[in-house]
Structure 1
Amino acid sequence: MLGLVFGALRARRVQALVMLALAAMTVVAAGAAARAAGTAGQDAARARVAAATVAERTLHVRGTVAPGDRPEDVLRRMGNLVHVPVDERAGGLRLAGDLLGPAGARRQSAELRSAERLCANLTLKQGRCVNADGEVVLPEELARLLGAGVGAKLVHETGLTATPVPLEVVGIFAPADPAGWFWAGQDGVAAYTTAPTVAAAGATVTATYDAVLEPEAFDDAAELRTVLDRLRAARLEVTSGAAALADAVAADRRSVRRGIGLAEAQILLFGGLAVAVAAAYAAQERRGDAARLAVRGLPRWRIRAATAGQSLVPLALGSIWSPRLFAAGVVIVAAADWSATRGGVTELMRDVRPRRPLAAATAEVCALGLAAAALFQLVAAPAADVRRDTGFGLAQVAPLLVAAGLGVLGTRLLLAAAGLYGRQALAAGRLSGALAGLTLGRRRTAFRIIPLLAAATCVLALAAQDWQGGDSARAERARVEMGADRVLRVAPVARERLLAAVRAADPGGREAMAVVVTGASAASPVVAVDAARLRAVAGVDGAALHPSAPAPLRFTGTDLALRASGDGNRVRFLLAAEGTGEQAVAEFGPLSPRAEPLTAVVPACDRGCRVEAVEADGALKAPVELRELSAGGATVIAGDVFADPARWRTTVAQASAGIQIVQTGGVLRIGDAQARTRRPVDSRLYVIDAPVPLPALAAGGAADNDRHDQPAASVFGASVPLAPRPAALVPRGGGSGIVVDLEYAARIAAVAVGTVPSAERPEVWLAPGAGDAVIGRLRAAGLDITGSDSVAAATDRADRLAPAVAALGDVAGAGIVLLLAAVAAFVVAAVDRRDRDAETAALRRQGVPHGLLARVERRAALAPVLLAVVVGVVSAVLLRALAPPPVRAFTDSWPVTPPAIQPLALLLAGLAALVVFGAVALLRAGRR
C-alpha cells in the first residue's frame, strides 16, 4: 500500500508539493505569529515606558518626622519599602512656613527644603550652590518676590513653637530641566538648604522620597500595586502614576496578543480552507486511481486509504510541528476522498463528474447563513464588544465569512450572466464572445475557488485599511501633541527675552514661534504662544487669542520724575526692561503732603522699560495721590491716564486686594484697605495692557473652575480668569489643554502678589519647511537650544507602541493568507488543466484559431480573479462601515478622527491581490 502511495506521489509531484507547501506555510506562519506576539508585546511595553511622561514613571513618598526623630531613619524605611527597581532617587526634608525678606520687609509663604542631588539638577543664575548649614539657594521668581539677592539675610518662620531659622542667600537658580523627574516632585514654592538646617527649627518636618522607576518595574502591575499598598499601609503618603502606566503596559501586551492572535487564527483557519480546497480538487484528480483499484477488487477502505494517502503524506510532513492542523487535515482529506470516490466503477471512470446540486446548494446556504450571522453580530454588538478580548467568535472571523458568502452570490450571478451572454453571442455569430461566455458558464467546479480568493482579498484590504487609518491617526496625534513640525527645547530664559529673541530671528513671523509650557505633567497643561504666529507655525488660527488692548506704558530713559503727594509714604513703580523682561523698581519718597516732584534713577531702563504696576509702601495714614510720571522730561503717565479707570486694575490672582482707589480730576488716589489676615495681600495697582479675562482656546473642561462660575486657570503661577473658546483639540494640550497668548499672559501674571513660581518650559516651535538657518539665528539672538523633537520622531515612537505593532502583525498575517489563497488557486488551475486541454484540442481540430483560443483562455482565467478581488474589496468596505477595527489605534481615550474606510489602502490591497492571483491564473492559461 505504501509503495502504491509513494508511486502515485512521484507521478503527481506538483500536487504533493503544493499540499506540503500549504501545510508548511500555515504551520510556520502561525508559529511565527505566536512567537512574535510575545516578543512584540515586550518591545511595545518597553516603548510605552520610554514614551511615558515623568509623572507616570516617578514615585513620590511622603512621611512625617516628629521632633526628636531621626530623619535619616524615616528615609531609610521608605527606601526599604520600595521593592521595585529604581533608576534614580532623591531623599529630602520639607518644613512649611514663611520666608521673611531682608530686614523683614517682605513675607512670602515658602517651604524650607533639603534635597539630594539638588546641585546636579539646577542651573545657577547667580552665586553658588549650598555647601554648608545656614546657606540657602532661591529660585528666580521667589528671589524677585522677596527682593533678595546673593548675600541677603533671610529668616524662615513656622509656627509659634518652632525656632526661626536664619539663612544666607548664596545662590539664585533655575531648574536645569523643569520637566524632568527631579523637579516633578518639587512642586510648590521653596527655598533649598541642608538637611540639618531644616531640622534646626525643631518642628515636625516632612521626609520626601522621590524616585524614577526602571522599565522592569512596570512589567507586573499587581506587584507594583502591592508595593504602593505596602507604603500606604505604613502611614506614608504616596503619589505616583506608575500603577496606571503598569496597567497601560499590561493593556499593550493584551492588545498585541489580541491583534497578532487574530492574525494567527486567520492564518490557521485560512490554511485549513486552502488545504480543504486542495484536498477536494486533488481527490477529483484521483477518481481514475480509485476506479482502477476497484476493478482489481480491492476493498473500499483500502481504496480510500490509497487515494487519501497521496494527500496525507505531504500533509503530515508539512504539519509535523502542529498536531492540531494534521488532525484537522486528516478529517478534511478523508471527507474529500470519500465524496470523490464513493460512486461505483462506472461512475468513477466517467470524465464528466456527476452533479450533486443538493450538496452544493447545502454548502452555499451554510456559507450564506454564516455570513448573515456574522453581519448581524457586528451590527448588534457595540464597538467595545467587538474589541473586547473574549475569544474568537463570529465577529473575529467575519472577514472570511462575509467575503465567502458574497463570493458565493457573486459566483452564481457570474455563471448565470456568462451563460446567457455566451448563448446570445453564439446566436449573433460572435465566436469570441460565445466561446468566452460558454466557457465561463461551464466551469462551475473551478469557480468554487472564488469565495476563498475573495476572503483572502478581504482580509488583506481590512488589514491595509486598519494600518493606514492607524498610521494617519498616529501622525495626527503626533502633530497635536508636538504642536508644530519641529520643537526646539530652550534653556530657562525670561519670557520677554524669549519673545524678543524669536521675533528678532524670524522677523517675518513665518518660521518660528516662542512658546512657554507650564503644567506639562498635569492633566491640563497651559501653553502660552505668540498668537500672531500660531497659524503660520502650527496651522491653528490664533487671532482670537490676541485681541486689541490698551497700549503698554513704555518709556526710554534712566531718570524718572514723579509728581505725587502723601504722608511720608514711599511709592514704587514696578518696571520690566524691554526685550529681556528684567525686573526693575523705581522708588520715590518719602512723599510730602504737597505734590512736590521726586526723582529716581533706574539704570536698567536705558534701552526702554514698560510700567507694570505701582504700589505704596507701608500703612497709609493718608491717601497717596499720583499726578504725573515722566522720564527725561517726557511724560510717561499723564494725570488723565492716572485717572482713567480703563488703564488700572487690582489683582486677578487668588489673594486679597489691600487697597482702595479713587480716580478723579486728573489724580489717582490710593487708600489703605488691609485685610485682617496673615496671608499675603496684593496692594499693587496694575497697568491694564492686556485683556482680562484672558482669551484662551480650551479643550474639554480644562478651563472649568469648581469654586466659582468664572473659568480660570493657573497661568505662570497666578490664577487668571479666562474667556475660553471651546476646541476639540489644542496644540500640545490635546483634548485637555489650554492655549493663551504669551505676551498677554506674561503681562497679567508677571508681578502679582501670591503668584506661585511655576515650572516653565520655554520652547521654540518651527513651521514646516523651516531650515536650519533659523536655528542659527536663534542661537545668535542669545537662546541656548538644549534639544529638539519633531512630529516625525513622535510618529516613529508611536509606531513602536502596541496598536501599531498589532496592526503591522495583521498586515503580515494578511500577506500569508494571500499567498495561501494563491497556492490553493494554483491547485485548482492544475487540476482543471486536463479538461481545458481536451477542450482546446477539440476546438483546434474544428479550425478555431489559436489566437482566439488564447484570448478566451485568458478571459476565462482572469474572470474569477476579477470577481473575487471585487467581492473582497466590497466586503472590506462593508465590514469597516459596520464595525470598527478589532484593535484600536490607541490604548487610551484619544479620539480617532481618520475614517475607517481608506480608499488608497483598498486600492493598493486590491491591486496586490489582482497581481498575485492574476499571475497564477495567467501562468496556467499560458501553459495550456
Structure 2
Amino acid sequence: MIRIVAIMMWHRRGQAVTLALLSLLAVAAAVAAPAYVRAADRAVAAGQVATATPAERALTVSATQNQRSGEQEAFGFDDIAGALLDLPGFSYVYAAEYPTVGIEPTAMVRSRFVYRQDACAHLRMATGRCMIGEGEVVIGVRAAGRLSLTAGDPITLTAARFNPDPRHPGFLTDGKPRDLTVVGTYRVSDPQDTYWGAHGYFARDAGDRPGEPVFADAATLQAMDHGSTDVSVDGFAGSAALAVDHLGALRTQLTGVGDQAGDLGAGLVVRTRIPQMLDRIDAGRAAARLIVPVLAVPLVLLACLSIFLAVGYSTQGRRPELAVVALRGARRWHRWWLACGESLFAIGAGAVAGCLAGQLLVDAVAAWRFPGVGVDAGIAPLRNAPPALLAAVAAALLAQRRQIASPVADLLRRTVLAAGGGRALAVEAAVALVAVVTGLQPLLSGGSLTGVGMFAAGFVMLALALIFARLVTLAITRVAGRALIRGRLGLALAAFPLSRRPGAARLCALLVAAVAVAGYAACAVDVAARGRRVVAELGTGADRVLTMEPVGRQQLLSAVRGADPGGRYAMAVVPLPPVGAGEPSAGLAVDSTRLAAVAHWAPGGDPAGATARALRPATPAPVVIPGRDVTADITATGLQPDKPVRLSLVLSSVTGLGDTIVHFGDLRSGPWTYQQRVPVCRQGCRLNAVALTTGIGVAGVSGEVVLHGLRSVNPVRPALSAAALADTGRWRLNAYGRLTTAPDGLRIALNAPNGLGDGAFVQPVDTPWPLPVAWSGDAGERIAGFDGGDVPATTVAHPAVVPVSGLGSALVDMEYLDRVSTDASAVDDPQVWLAAGAPPGIVDALAGRGLVVVRDVRADHVRDQLDRQGPAIALWFAVLAAVLATALAAGALILAASVDRARHVADLRALRAQGLPRPPVRRATLGTYPALVVVATVLGLATALAGWGLTGWALPLAGLDPPPLPLPGWPQPPVLAATGAVMLAVLAVVAYAAGRRTLREVP
C-alpha cells in the first residue's frame, strides 16, 4: 500500500509538492508566532536598555555619618557599600560632601564641599589645574567671577550646618576654619552626564547663584574638622549588567540590595530607577504577547482553511480512482488509505520542514530588524508544531470525508454540485456564532483582548470570508447564466467552472481571508506608526523640550526671549495648575508669540498662527515702576485700629530679575508715604497687583484707601500720571468693595463683613478680561491661575488638541496669565520648547541667563523609544503574517488550478472540436482565476476593515502608556489600497500563469 501511495504521489508530484508547501507554511505560521514572541522579548529588553535614561541605569546608596559621634568614618562606608553593591557589571563612584561657609558674603547660603571619585577626569579646567594634593580645591568659573577669585588665591572654609530656627535662617559654623588654596577654575561639559548621578551638583542654588560645588580630594575633605557628612556610592550598570539574559537576575539582585539595606539600618538609603525600566520591559513584553497572537490566530485559521481546500481539491481530482477502488470491493480501510495516504504523506513532510522553516524565518526577521540582539535558542516554539500538525491532519481528513463516504455513482459523476447543504450551512453558522461571541468580548471587557477575545479578529474575518464566498458563488452562477443567454461565451465559460465546482466557493473564501489577514496587518502597522508619531510629536510638544529648575515666570520669559530675540525657535511654556488636588495639568501657558514657530500642531481645528493671534490681542501698556526704591503714596481713612489692613505690591522685574511681593506693613490712618528698596526692580518692575490683606479670622473690615501715586525715588519718576491713576476703567478689583475716582487718585472702598479672605487685589487692566483661552474639546468658563485662583475665561479658538495636555485642555498666553496672578512664586517644571532649527548653543545661552536644565527630551528620542517598545516590535510579525498569508493564497490557487486543469482542458478541447472560436477559449482560460482574485481582493479589504473596526481599537498600538491625545483609529486609504494592490498583483500573476498553462494545452 505504501508503494502504491508513493507511485500516486510521484504521478501527481506537482500537487504533492504544493500540498507539502502549504503544510509547511501552516506549521511554519504556528511555530513562527511563539518563536517571534521569544525574539520580541529579547528585542524589547535590548531596545529599552538602549534608550534608558542615565537615571534608569543607576543605583545610589547613601547615608549620613558624623565622625564626632563615634560613627564609622566617612570613607569606611566603602566596606558597607562594597558588600551591599556586589552586583556584576556595575561600575561605582564614591562621593562625600558637607556644607561649608567662608567665601560667600552671607551665611544665608553655603558652599557645597564635595569629594567625588575621579572628578578631575570629568571637569574641564578653565584656568589653573585640578587638585592633586591635600589643601587644594577647584571652584566653578562663575563662582570665581562672582567672588573675585582666581587660581592661586587662598580661601578659608569652615564646615557648617543648617540652622532650623525660622527666626534666624541660614548656616552656622560646625568646625574649625581650614585654609585652602584655589588651584583652578572649572567648567562642566555635560551636567547631565551619567557620572554625576542624581546629586544635583550643578542645579540652581539659593538666590541667583548657579550650582557650582567646591571640589576637593578625599584627604582634604576628611582632614577638615566637620560634623555630619553625606556619603554615597553611585553604581552605574554597564552592558554586562543590562544584558538581555541577565535582566531577570538583576531584578532579584536589586530586591536583595533593598533587603540588605533594611537589615543594615534605617540610615542607609537605596535609590534606583532600574526597576522602573525593568517594569517597562515587562509591560512591553506583555503587549507583544498580546499583539502577536491576535495576528497569528487568523493566520493559523487561514492555514487550516488552505489545507482543507488543497486536500479537498486534490481528492476531488481523484474521484474516478476512488470509484474504481470502491467498485473492486476494497475494504474501507484500503479505501481510506488510498484516499488519504497521499495527502497525509505530503502534509507530514511539509510539517517537518515547517518546524525548521518557521524558526529560520523568525531568525531572519530578527537578524534584519533587531541586529545584535540574537535569538532565544530553544525548542519551546516547536511545542506548537504537534497541534498545528494535528490541525492540518484534521483539516485533511475532514476535506476527504465526503469523497470516502460517497457512493460509487456519485464518484463517477463528473459534475459535482456546489457544497451548500445543511452541514455546510451548519459549519458556517457555527463559525459565525464563534465570531459573534469572540467579537463581543472586547466590548464587554472594556477593550481587553485576553481570553477568547484573542481569537476575535481571526474568527470575524473567517466568518465574513465564508459569507462573502457564498454570495460570490451565487453572483457568479447568475452571471454565467446571463452571459450564456446573451451569447458571451468567453464570460460564460470562465464563470461556469467557478459556479459548478464545490471547491470554488472555498477557494474564494480562502482568497478573501488571505487578503483580509494582509489588510488587517497593514491596518495595524499603519495605525501604530501614525500613533507613535502623534505620541512622539504632540506628546512631546516640540522637537526638543527642556525642563528647568523652578524659576519665576517672568525670569523664564525674559531668559527665553533673550536667548531667541527673533522668536524663531524657542518658546517658554508652563503647565497650568490642576483644577483640583491630585488632578493632572489643565493645559499649558505659552509665550504665544512663538507658538506657530515652535510647537507641533495637530491638523484639524484652528491653526497655530490663528490661535496665537487670538490668545494675544492688543492691550494697554502695563504699569511699570522704573526703579528699585518703590514708593506708594496712600491715604487711609475709616480703618479700625484693631483690624489692621496690610499693604503689599506684587511686582515682576521687566528684565527677568525675578518676581517679588513688597510688604509695606499695616496701613496707617491719614496720608502716608510707604517705601521699600526692591533689588529686583533696579531696572524696572511691572505692577501686577496692589494687595490689601488682614490677619486670619479678622472680620468686619471697612474703610477707604486712596492711592495717590506709585513712583520710584531713584530715578525720580512716577509710574502713572494722576489722570491715569484716577481712571477707574484702568483698574480692576477682585472683590470686597468697589473702585471710584478720588480728586487726586484712585479710591478703594472696602466692605468685607466676613473679612478679606485671601485679600483684596487691585490690578491694572493691562490684559483682556475675561482672559482669552483656546480649548480643545469642551470649553470651560474658568481656568486656574498661577496663584491658584479662578480666572474667568472666554473661548477664542478651538485647536484639535493642546500639545502634551491632550483633549479637554486649555491653552493660554503665559504673560497675560502671569499679569493677572497675585503671587510671586517660582513655578514647578518650567519648560523651554525648541524647534528643529534651534542652534546647538541654545542650552548654553539659556544657562547664561540663569536657567538650569534638569531634563532634556527630544521628540526623535521619544519616537525611538516607542519604536523599541513591545507594541512596535510585535507589529513586525504583522509583516511576516502578511507574507505568509500571500504565500498560502498563492499556493492554494496554484493547486486549485492544477487540479482543475485536466478537466477544464478536456472540456475546452471538446468545445473546440465543435467549433468554439479561439478568443472565447482565451478569455475563459486567462480570465477565470484573475477575475476571482480581483473580487476576492476587494472583498478581502472590506473584511479587513470590518475585523479592524471590531477589534483593532483594543490593541495597544501607540505605546505602553500613551497620553490623552487623539490617536488615529483607522488606516489611511492609500496604505490599504497599496496592500490590496500588492496582493492583487501577486495573486493575479499566479492566476494568469496558471491560465496560460491551461491555454497552451488547448489546441
TM-score category (smaller protein): 0.7 to 0.9
Matched, 1:43 2:50: no
Q: 2:591 aligned to 518, 526, 530, which one?
A: 530
Q: 1:310 aligned to 320, 336, 342, which one?
A: 342
Mark the runs of 5 or more structure 1 residues left unpaired by the alignment: 566-571, 585-593, 616-623, 651-662, 669-684, 704-708, 767-771
Matched, 1:158 2:163: yes
Deviations 1:801-838 (A, max 9, x none): 21111122123213212211221122112111222222
Asked if 2 retains the 8 angstrom alpha-carbon contact of 1:258 and 1:389, the reply is yes
Asked if 1 retains the 8 angstrom alpha-carbon contact of 2:524 and 2:952, the reply is no
Partner of 1:845: 913
Evaluate the alpha carbon distance shift between residue 762 and residue 851 of structure 1 in structure 2; reply closer, same or farther with a 3 A threshold.
same
Q: 2:438 aligned to 350, 357, 377, which one?
A: 377
Matched, 1:444 2:502: yes
Partner of 1:809: 877
Evaluate the alpha carbon distance shift between residue 434 and residue 256 of structure 1 in structure 2; reply closer, same or farther with a 3 A threshold.
closer
Asked if 2 retains the 8 angstrom alpha-carbon contact of 1:399 and 1:875, the reply is no
Partner of 1:911: 981
Asked if 2 retains the 8 angstrom alpha-carbon contact of 1:98 and 1:156, the reply is no
Q: 1:275 aligned to 307, 324, 344, which one?
A: 307
CA distance in 1, matches of 2:791, 2:595: 19
CA distance in 2, matches of 1:914, 1:483: 41
Deviations 1:409-455 (A, max 9, x none): 33333333333444445445555565555454323332221222222
Query: 1:231-380, aligned counterparts within 5 Å?
Result: 231-232=261-262, 234-235=265-266, 237-293=269-325, 299-320=331-352, 321=355, 322-343=385-406, 347-348=410-411, 350-352=412-414, 360-380=421-441
Identity percentage over the alignment?
23
Deviations 1:168-222 (A, max 9, x none): 9988989944697847443895774578879978665655555555545855655
* Superposition TM-score, scaled by structure 1 size: 0.72
Give the partner amino acid of 1:418: I
Query: 1:840-919, aligned counterparts within 5 Å?
Result: 840-885=908-953, 887-889=955-957, 890-895=959-964, 897-900=967-970, 902-919=972-989
Structure 1 counterpart SS, 2:903? helix
CA distance in 2, matches of 1:838, 1:808: 46
Asked if 1 retains the 8 angstrom alpha-carbon contact of 2:102 and 2:156, the reply is no
Deviations 1:44-71 (A, max 9, x none): 2232244445665554555443552236
Evaluate the alpha carbon distance shift between residue 742 and residue 55 of structure 1 in structure 2; reply closer, same or farther with a 3 A threshold.
farther
Partner of 1:15: 15
Partner of 1:70: 72
Asked if 1 retains the 8 angstrom alpha-carbon contact of 2:866 and 2:872, the reply is yes
Partner of 1:457: 515
Asked if 2 retains the 8 angstrom alpha-carbon contact of 1:129 and 1:137, the reply is no
Structure 2 counterpart SS, 1:445? helix
CA distance in 2, matches of 1:128, 1:687: 55
CA distance in 1, matches of 2:254, 2:710: 66
Structure 2 counterpart SS, 1:891? coil
* Superposition TM-score, scaled by structure 2 size: 0.67
In the TM superposition, residue 743 of structure 1 has moved relative to its aligned partner by: 5.7
Evaluate the alpha carbon distance shift between residue 595 and residue 443 of structure 1 in structure 2; reply closer, same or farther with a 3 A threshold.
closer
Deviations 1:451-472 (A, max 9, x none): 2222222211111111111111
Evaluate the alpha carbon distance shift between residue 44 and residue 379 of structure 1 in structure 2; reply closer, same or farther with a 3 A threshold.
same
CA distance in 2, matches of 1:183, 1:745: 36
Deviations 1:869-906 (A, max 9, x none): 33322222222322335631121253462124543343
CA distance in 2, matches of 1:531, 1:711: 18
CA distance in 1, matches of 2:323, 2:60: 82
Deviations 1:547-583 (A, max 9, x none): 6666467799x99999999xxxxxx9999685x8699
CA distance in 2, matches of 1:127, 1:90: 25
In the TM superposition, residue 283 of structure 1 has moved relative to its aligned partner by: 1.6
Mark the runs of 5 or more structure 2 residues left unpaired by the alignment: 150-154, 356-384, 577-581, 602-607, 635-648, 661-670, 691-706, 734-740, 747-761, 999-1003
Asked if 1 retains the 8 angstrom alpha-carbon contact of 2:572 and 2:832, the reply is yes
Q: 1:514 aligned to 564, 567, 571, which one?
A: 571
Evaluate the alpha carbon distance shift between residue 336 and residue 647 of structure 1 in structure 2; reply closer, same or farther with a 3 A threshold.
closer
Evaluate the alpha carbon distance shift between residue 361 and residue 387 of structure 1 in structure 2; reply closer, same or farther with a 3 A threshold.
same
Structure 2 counterpart SS, 1:514? strand
CA distance in 2, matches of 1:205, 1:738: 47
Give the partner amino acid of 2:306: A
Give the partner amino acid of 2:266: R
CA distance in 1, matches of 2:801, 2:407: 74
Deviations 1:67-87 (A, max 9, x none): 522363457535643465546
CA distance in 2, matches of 1:441, 1:412: 10
Query: 1:570-719, aligned counterparts within 5 Å?
Result: 628-629=711-712, 711=784
Asked if 2 retains the 8 angstrom alpha-carbon contact of 1:189 and 1:756, the reply is no
Asked if 2 retains the 8 angstrom alpha-carbon contact of 1:122 and 1:176, the reply is no
CA distance in 2, matches of 1:844, 1:900: 51
Aligned residues: 852
Query: 1:782-797, aligned counterparts within 5 Å?
Result: 791=859, 794-797=862-865
CA distance in 2, matches of 1:111, 1:721: 41
Q: CA RMSD in A?
A: 6.3
CA distance in 2, matches of 1:647, 1:116: 58
In the TM superposition, residue 523 of structure 1 has moved relative to its aligned partner by: 11
Deviations 1:568-600 (A, max 9, x none): xxxx9999685x86999xxxxxxxxx999x9x9
CA distance in 1, matches of 2:728, 2:195: 46
Give the partner amino acid of 2:477: G
Asked if 2 retains the 8 angstrom alpha-carbon contact of 1:880 and 1:901, the reply is no
Deviations 1:245-268 (A, max 9, x none): 322211111222333344444444
Evaluate the alpha carbon distance shift between residue 481 and residue 122 of structure 1 in structure 2; reply closer, same or farther with a 3 A threshold.
farther
Partner of 1:403: 461
Give the partner amino acid of 1:77: I
Evaluate the alpha carbon distance shift between residue 230 and residue 867 of structure 1 in structure 2; reply closer, same or farther with a 3 A threshold.
farther
Partner of 1:467: 525
Asked if 2 retains the 8 angstrom alpha-carbon contact of 1:400 and 1:458, the reply is no
Deviations 1:21-42 (A, max 9, x none): 2223334454444333223222
Asked if 2 retains the 8 angstrom alpha-carbon contact of 1:564 and 1:627, the reply is yes
Give the partner amino acid of 1:883: T
Matched, 1:417 2:475: yes
Asked if 2 retains the 8 angstrom alpha-carbon contact of 1:490 and 1:763, the reply is no
Structure 2 counterpart SS, 1:164? strand
Structure 2 counterpart SS, 1:853? helix
Evaluate the alpha carbon distance shift between residue 265 and residue 437 of structure 1 in structure 2; reply closer, same or farther with a 3 A threshold.
closer
Query: 1:726-805, aligned counterparts within 5 Å?
Result: 730-732=802-804, 762=832, 764-766=834-836, 775=839, 791=859, 794-805=862-873
Asked if 2 retains the 8 angstrom alpha-carbon contact of 1:400 and 1:456, the reply is no
Larger deviation, residues 199-208 vs 784-793: 784-793
Partner of 1:834: 902
Give the partner amino acid of 1:441: S
In the TM superposition, residue 138 of structure 1 has moved relative to its aligned partner by: 8.8
Evaluate the alpha carbon distance shift between residue 33 and residue 910 of structure 1 in structure 2; reply closer, same or farther with a 3 A threshold.
same
CA distance in 2, matches of 1:561, 1:29: 80
Deviations 1:626-671 (A, max 9, x none): 9754788877777888999999999xxxxxxxxxxxx999899xxx
Matched, 1:102 2:133: no
In the TM superposition, residue 475 of structure 1 has moved relative to its aligned partner by: 0.7
Structure 2 counterpart SS, 1:248? helix
Structure 2 counterpart SS, 1:396? helix
Asked if 1 retains the 8 angstrom alpha-carbon contact of 2:494 and 2:924, the reply is yes
Structure 1 counterpart SS, 2:571? strand
Larger deviation, residues 31-40 vs 210-219: 210-219
